[in-house]
Structure 1
């Protein structure tokens, strides 16, 4: 049974205004539904609810503003439906554009940071290990839990801002130590070294993990010495898209898994999966829905948003060449700013790169409307969502294949071994 403190009851009754009261009541009701016995303080939030899905979301945010609601903890903002930092053209009808704009301004009016990125951890929002936070956006949640070692559940739209205003979250799920222990062991040690040190492998592994784990916690063994932050980002994003993964461990890499035994809490795994080359090939095939065509109408990378290091790699692979088809580079304003300062943004745009900033091509209409169109991507998350959200079929490939295909204007494959 949920027990609120005297302070929480007073806030819910309106002592800090109508907006704060509404937020506290939302958090308390969510806690009751989840079976939590109490609310816990959170140190920060990442807000996914500012992405326009309909007028009701805008009206909800504006009601909070009229009620005087302000966030009481640091609250970064996930992508919106518009691109105030410029770049790509967005095809929203006038009414939807205006409502999306009002929604974004409402969240800023409540004191949220105008970060507008799905990768806040790349923009300096990195809560300390063991810290309780309330984050939305599936890839941000899994990165926060797994790579940073902070603690959050997958907070959905509107509950996220309610947590940020109240400074509280329900005490359940991944906030609790016992729920953070792995029950599934995934062994990739039998795969080739060449494969494990290839960036293109990690979204494929994430897809397998998401399908196998669902919302269970897994520990992966065999990646020691192969991971980078961008690779873990890609793995987690694909796992959170293909399943309900909110936390994974990598033995010897992530902070709560110095070894397999620690990740499992000393208990044997309920299930053990040893991945084979055939498993990888099957998952790789599922990521491409376009079939055997050589057609590529657009290339989109950056889901989650590209880091500066990934932009550096795109620039290196382009090697000064112009693109025959557009390459949509989705990233945050925290990455665009240094590119502009160095004069690199303009040069990349002149070569055919289209920067998509503050949003992405899968959540708002940016890609041209074309019959039978094919999108090439190196993102497991894009591969999962693009067919339904954009109408484009997908061809999955490495970053190098994406760049070479954009240069050639057709699908280009590089030699690689998946054995």
Structure 2
């Protein structure tokens, strides 16, 4: 290929010596390497595949063509959400015409040797790539988590290209794979965030949403908050940044692997720009995460788990719902991966959720599976990602609140939010 150096095995694959499926994957990878300006390919140690999500006949045909052509992954490869909860889809309004092809696509990826994790958060139960490890991950929230929290290196791999990297064990040497492209660009000074708000877990998705809209794909460096985020906080922060601003990497000074101090995060350079959010800006950002659904409005469904709910989130939810019962007019749905569901069941957390009247969907995502009955029109979530995408993808009204707000709203049958932290002064 013009401009891209291929080694002998790359060329052998391109010439079909490892079968038609691998040849197709290699031809796509080599062409895309040209498009992104890579001069060579690099070896990867793992992959996470977003292409596993059924989106129609084209994605199914592509997966089955690879599998039937003998393509097999060369590195440990996890799978993002599928297009269907293969065991629980009949509990919702998923058409059989969708469930059947979605299941066929799941089989195709498993045939290629992918691990049937079916989650957008594989790092919750699977071995994690280490600092500096080159991987090829798809799915926006997983990408930003791998780059930022784990310190691994992946570009923002789109559907179809991610599986090509897994089949060849190679990726274009470009973008966030390269150290020089991982330097911070935007300083986010958090010293103006009130102490009370800094202690709220709901701050992080809102902050991520606010930063994403302003970072515009650049690398933010966060510093100065009076408090340290937990892993689930960083998960929510990154997912929101990726949704509203296509951010693939952020640094948190003193918290993430490539940001032991501010100078290290910026690789000795000066910030291109600076941001300093305060209580008023963050309150406004929180209120933006909604569409036509205000406090005290009626409610049909509370949705949790975008990215997929973790074991620690199940623990928190179990504590909030213990001894309580949801309003009969409001359903509560948690989405998670099958491995976390097993762990949560063993810990007893699912018993409390079930007693509350909550429901569970695994292996898929409400944003990407046609599962909602038409009568469900008003949603509430603690996920900025859900709130950002729901109006466009689901054509529903949505309200954003903390996990505690979501539980209180499910009990009350209407949107209830505690605004005390958002009104706090520095």
Q: TM-score range by the shorter chain?
A: over 0.9
SS of residue matched to 1:356: strand
Name the structure 2 match of 1:382.
386
8 Å Cα contact 2:318/2:352 also seen in 1: no
Indicate how the Cα distance of structure 1 residues 267 and 231 shifts in structure 2: closer, same or farther if over 3 A, else same: same
CA distance in 2, matches of 1:12, 1:341: 47
* Pairing of 1:208-287 with structure 2 (within 5 A): 208-223=210-225, 225-287=227-289
Q: Is there any run of 5+ residues in structure 1 with no aligned partner, and where?
A: none
CA distance in 2, matches of 1:193, 1:114: 42
Please state how far the C-alpha of 1:282 moved relative to its aligned partner.
Answer: 1.7
Q: 1:196 aligns with which of 188, 195, 198?
A: 198
Name the structure 1 match of 2:319.
316
The number of aligned residues is 418
Q: 1:295 aligns with which of 281, 293, 298?
A: 298
Please state how far the C-alpha of 1:338 moved relative to its aligned partner.
Answer: 2.3
Name the structure 1 match of 2:337.
332
Please state how far the C-alpha of 1:363 moved relative to its aligned partner.
Answer: 1.2
8 Å Cα contact 1:85/1:333 also seen in 2: no
8 Å Cα contact 1:88/1:366 also seen in 2: no
Please state how far the C-alpha of 1:415 moved relative to its aligned partner.
Answer: 4.5
* Pairing of 1:360-379 with structure 2 (within 5 A): 360-370=365-375, 373-379=377-383
* Pairing of 1:2-151 with structure 2 (within 5 A): 2-86=4-88, 89-151=91-153
Name the structure 2 match of 1:405.
409
Name the structure 2 match of 1:184.
186
Name the structure 2 match of 1:349.
354
Q: Is there any run of 5+ residues in structure 2 with no aligned partner, and where?
A: none
Indicate how the Cα distance of structure 1 residues 344 and 224 shifts in structure 2: closer, same or farther if over 3 A, else same: closer
Indicate how the Cα distance of structure 1 residues 113 and 85 shifts in structure 2: closer, same or farther if over 3 A, else same: farther
CA distance in 2, matches of 1:342, 1:197: 26
CA distance in 2, matches of 1:76, 1:48: 9
Q: 2:156 aligns with which of 130, 140, 154?
A: 154
The TM-score with structure 2 as length reference comes to 0.95
8 Å Cα contact 1:153/1:173 also seen in 2: yes
| RMSD, aligned CA | 1.5
8 Å Cα contact 1:224/1:252 also seen in 2: no
CA distance in 1, matches of 2:112, 2:252: 37
The TM-score with structure 1 as length reference comes to 0.97
* Pairing of 1:161-172 with structure 2 (within 5 A): 161-172=163-174
SS of residue matched to 2:308: strand
SS of residue matched to 2:333: strand
Indicate how the Cα distance of structure 1 residues 26 and 90 shifts in structure 2: closer, same or farther if over 3 A, else same: farther
CA distance in 2, matches of 1:225, 1:72: 42
SS of residue matched to 2:126: coil
CA distance in 1, matches of 2:164, 2:265: 32
8 Å Cα contact 1:90/1:364 also seen in 2: no
SS of residue matched to 1:327: strand
8 Å Cα contact 2:86/2:99 also seen in 1: no
8 Å Cα contact 1:88/1:356 also seen in 2: no
